[in-house]
Structure 1
Amino acid sequence: MPLRPNRPLPLATPAGVEVLTRILTQGPIPRVEIARRTRLSQAAVTKAVAPLIEAGFVTDQPVAVPADEAAEGRAELGIGRPVSPLTVVADSISVIGLKVTPTDLIGVTTDFRAGIRAVRHQPLTDTSAEAVLARLADLATELIGTLDDPTDPAGPLIGIGVAVSGDVDARHGVVRDSPFMGWRDVPVASLLAEKLQMPVVVSNDVRALTVAEHWFGVGVDADSFAVVTIGSGVGCGLYINGEVVSGAHGVSGELGHLPLAPGDLVCTCGRRGCVETVASSDAILARVRETTGRPELDLSGAIELAHSGDEHAREAFDRAGEVIGSALAAMVNLVGPELVVIAGEGVADYDLYDQRMRQAFGEHAFGAAGDCRLMLRSHTFDDWARGAAATVIRSYVRGEPPFHR
């Protein structure tokens, strides 16, 4: 499997980047529709697309466009008639995405459209930065091996993405502070790139998930949205005014650290009263164990107990729902997204707090902010790793570090 981290995209202008981004996130799409959405001339679109087709990144092979897409204005020639929409050649490149947790490493390979091809999970016992980076290098090497399958050929690998919780300086690839991992000022990108001799992009895990939703998920057609993740922590990614928000200092959307919980509760970040002290899955489980006097319970046992009607277990979930709903209302009142996706590894099982969460949101959302849609959706750790891969794809297309053009 040839590794070609320096395989350049033939994009000479910002217009070319915009055209490829439209094809990648909204394709198959006709040239005329790209021109309409970008306000470029059709000649400019054709000029931008020609080198991409020649290099094998984009194709315009004729396909039949379904009637429903034609009705939405995606067809160039009419309902059911043959057209030549532009679409990205998925296997023109490959990407690796890695997600780091205190207990596991999750890795995926994806194509250019962030479609998952292979998945690997490895348990983690040593969370020191040195040990984790060595394990990440091994996992990436194993995933690279999966790309060399002659029965399922993949495109050349162009980069590796790493998603970590906490305060991450994505531009320089440094994890400034990750309370869950116990890391401070770890230059993950440079250290891992040196081990693997590949471009490495490091991102906050929730922001990476938001990038994936922006380019390849619910955010493709949304003007604004937020992704709120609930698990061992509570995170939030924001897509506002055409961009995933990073914040002036690389920190934004820290919903889990709004001070909306009782002040006597100490968070993993060292501060008091954070949303996570009540609303994270770890906090819910700790509360159920404390109030029921059953320290042997795991989270599934706590959920089962609450479903059976145990008042102590129900109280823990109600309390979590109250705080999450209030935090969501505060966020929506401030930035006004049209949609909030509430996601997590087991969030679909948390119907126990859904009603109380929506009630608290309705009580605190101001005016029309209450019209924001709340969508509850479960996802897996593979999705987190896919988000890391999506950040590589975005940086590659835009020519952002470490992909310079």
Structure 2
Amino acid sequence: MFRHHSRPLVSAPAETAVLALLLAEGPLSRVELARRTGLSSTAVTKAARPLIDDGYLYELPPERTAPGAGRPVNPLAVDPDREYFIGLKISGDQVFGAVCDLRAGIRATAGRPLDGCTPGAVAELTAELVDELLDTEPAFRDRTRHLGVAVNGDVDRESGRLRHSGLLGWREVPLAELLTEATGLAVTVENDVRALAVAEHWFGEGIGTEYFALVTIGAGIGSALVVNGQLIRGAYGVAGEVGHLCVDPTGPRCRCGGRGCVEAIASTDAILAAVRQATAEPHLTFCEAADIAREGHPAAREAFARAGHAIGVGISALVSLVGPERVVVSGEGADAYDLFSRHIQEAYAEHAFGAASRCPLSLRPLPWEEWARGGAAVAIQALFPQYAATTTIGVG
């Protein structure tokens, strides 16, 4: 397979500021870019020129202005087809991929079941999946050089190493290196919830926010935080772990070893275990548990209500500490949001401190392709020097 060189697209702060703003919120005029970035009009023009020459930006036809307002302006826009990115979501039983354009628009998707959950098997399957995706359209193969991977667990993004994933049963796997060797692409690896947060912050509901949070409900309770416009990890890589806040000291034991964590009460596994125990039906699925709760089964409804309360308390702690402008709640467990949404909102309103309770919560149930899009979003970040220099395993 052809091996692509990994290098940042932009090399100067002004270019970074202009391209990043146009990716998220373009088209914009040079005057508006100058106002929003704090650059002079001359600096904006200078920064845009090489990006126009390389085909990443182009000028739209002049916009009409009011009489006496000066010359018509030519807004600048991103050409989304100038470069493509593959995003990958690795789960316990499948690998799902998507080809995305420069603005993280999904152009093609494909998935493969995962029979053997070993790093070698995943690398082999990834190579097959990438080839399938690149062959979808003639332009994809020539214009794709980055692969972004969203995976459960503790990820050292700088080295591309997956330190630990309980879901996959992996420890100290050099995942970026393995997938670079398998695909010939430059690979960036990120925790799946953080990758999803990058996609939402750059291209979704978090656009334009300096403080943003994402909370996911599923087999685990995940969260990611954006502070001062930057995704934060903290000194030990676990910043924002709302799932492991204790909300009930007498509650069930959590897989982390603690007791009464949000995850121990509100994960899909915890809810299902509570419903199975209450109904003496050990073979119920999560969907069946949700169905009987909707039909009015008291114990099932109580399990979802308790989960919603735990999530709401956890989110209120996060919001009170960090003060995000917006919180998106998502994940596979969000399909049952109707059963615990009221309880989330009530607990959140009761426990959030002061004006922090004005931060809106919004639900976005996201299919697998959106998780893969999160992988593509972190690959897009590799175009920028502050990410590419330290986070991408390149090939040459």
Give the drift of 1:381.
1.2
Give the drift of 1:82.
6.3
Gaps of 5+ in 2: none
Give the drift of 1:370.
1.5
Please say if residues 30 and 76 of structure 1, whose CA atoms lie closer than 8 Å, have aligned partners that are also in contact. Answer: no
Please say if residues 33 and 76 of structure 1, whose CA atoms lie closer than 8 Å, have aligned partners that are also in contact. Answer: no
CA distance in 2, matches of 1:4, 1:30: 37
Instruction: Choose the corresponding residue for 1:227, options 214, 217, 224.
Output: 214
* Residue 299, structure 1, aligned to residue 286, structure 2: yes
CA distance in 2, matches of 1:336, 1:377: 20
Closer/same/farther in 2, CA of residues 147 and 3 from structure 1, 3 Å limit: farther
CA distance in 2, matches of 1:35, 1:101: 43
Q: Any residues of structure 2 matched to 1:42-121 within 5 Å, and which?
A: 42-62=41-61, 83-121=73-111
Deviations 1:309-340 (A, max 9, x none): 10011011011011111111111111111211
Give the drift of 1:34.
0.6
Q: Which moved more, 1:156-165 or 1:254-263?
A: 254-263
Q: Any residues of structure 2 matched to 1:203-282 within 5 Å, and which?
A: 203-261=190-248, 265-282=252-269
Instruction: Choose the corresponding residue for 1:328, options 315, 321, 324.
Output: 315
* 2:98 aligned partner, one-letter code: V
Give the drift of 1:209.
0.6
Gaps of 5+ in 1: 66-74
* 1:29 aligned partner, one-letter code: L
* 1:158 aligned partner, one-letter code: R
Give the drift of 1:308.
0.8
Deviations 1:71-121 (A, max 9, x none): xxxx89999x96421111111101000001112211100010100011112
- 3-state SS in 2 of match to 1:221: coil
Deviations 1:271-300 (A, max 9, x none): 443321111112111211111111222122
* 1:36 aligned partner, one-letter code: R
**Partner in structure 2 of residue 126 of structure 1:** 116
Q: Which moved more, 1:5-14 or 1:210-219?
A: 5-14
Deviations 1:215-251 (A, max 9, x none): 1111112231111011111111111112111222322
Instruction: Choose the corresponding residue for 2:173, options 170, 186, 190.
Output: 186
* Residue 19, structure 1, aligned to residue 18, structure 2: yes
Give the drift of 1:10.
5.5
CA distance in 2, matches of 1:63, 1:233: 50
**Partner in structure 1 of residue 149 of structure 2:** 162
Give the drift of 1:12.
3.3
CA distance in 1, matches of 2:26, 2:105: 14
Deviations 1:340-384 (A, max 9, x none): 111123514321111111111122111112112111221111111
Closer/same/farther in 2, CA of residues 307 and 5 from structure 1, 3 Å limit: same
**Partner in structure 2 of residue 69 of structure 1:** none
Please say if residues 76 and 83 of structure 1, whose CA atoms lie closer than 8 Å, have aligned partners that are also in contact. Answer: no
- 3-state SS in 2 of match to 1:146: coil
CA distance in 2, matches of 1:7, 1:333: 40
Q: Which structure has more RCO (C-alpha within 8 Å, separation ≥ 6)?
A: 2
**Partner in structure 1 of residue 130 of structure 2:** 140
- 3-state SS in 2 of match to 1:208: helix
Query: What is the aligned-residue identity percentage?
Result: 46
**Partner in structure 2 of residue 287 of structure 1:** 274
Closer/same/farther in 2, CA of residues 104 and 267 from structure 1, 3 Å limit: farther
Instruction: Choose the corresponding residue for 2:297, options 292, 295, 310.
Output: 310
**Structure 1 outlier segments of 4+, above 6 Å:** 75-79
Closer/same/farther in 2, CA of residues 78 and 170 from structure 1, 3 Å limit: farther
Give the drift of 1:143.
1.5
Instruction: Choose the corresponding residue for 2:363, options 376, 381, 386.
Output: 376
CA distance in 1, matches of 2:304, 2:249: 15
Closer/same/farther in 2, CA of residues 123 and 267 from structure 1, 3 Å limit: farther
**Partner in structure 1 of residue 379 of structure 2:** 392
**Partner in structure 2 of residue 319 of structure 1:** 306
**Partner in structure 2 of residue 70 of structure 1:** none
CA distance in 2, matches of 1:29, 1:298: 49
CA distance in 2, matches of 1:29, 1:355: 40
Instruction: Choose the corresponding residue for 2:347, options 354, 357, 360.
Output: 360
Q: Which moved more, 1:190-199 or 1:127-136?
A: 127-136
Q: Give the length in aligned residue pairs.
A: 390
**Partner in structure 2 of residue 71 of structure 1:** none
CA distance in 1, matches of 2:292, 2:66: 56
- 3-state SS in 2 of match to 1:92: coil
Closer/same/farther in 2, CA of residues 4 and 259 from structure 1, 3 Å limit: same
**Partner in structure 2 of residue 40 of structure 1:** 39
CA distance in 2, matches of 1:402, 1:85: 32
- 3-state SS in 1 of match to 2:88: strand
- 3-state SS in 2 of match to 1:376: strand
Give the drift of 1:267.
3.1
Please say if residues 105 and 121 of structure 1, whose CA atoms lie closer than 8 Å, have aligned partners that are also in contact. Answer: yes
* 1:88 aligned partner, one-letter code: V
CA distance in 2, matches of 1:369, 1:77: 45
**Partner in structure 2 of residue 195 of structure 1:** 182
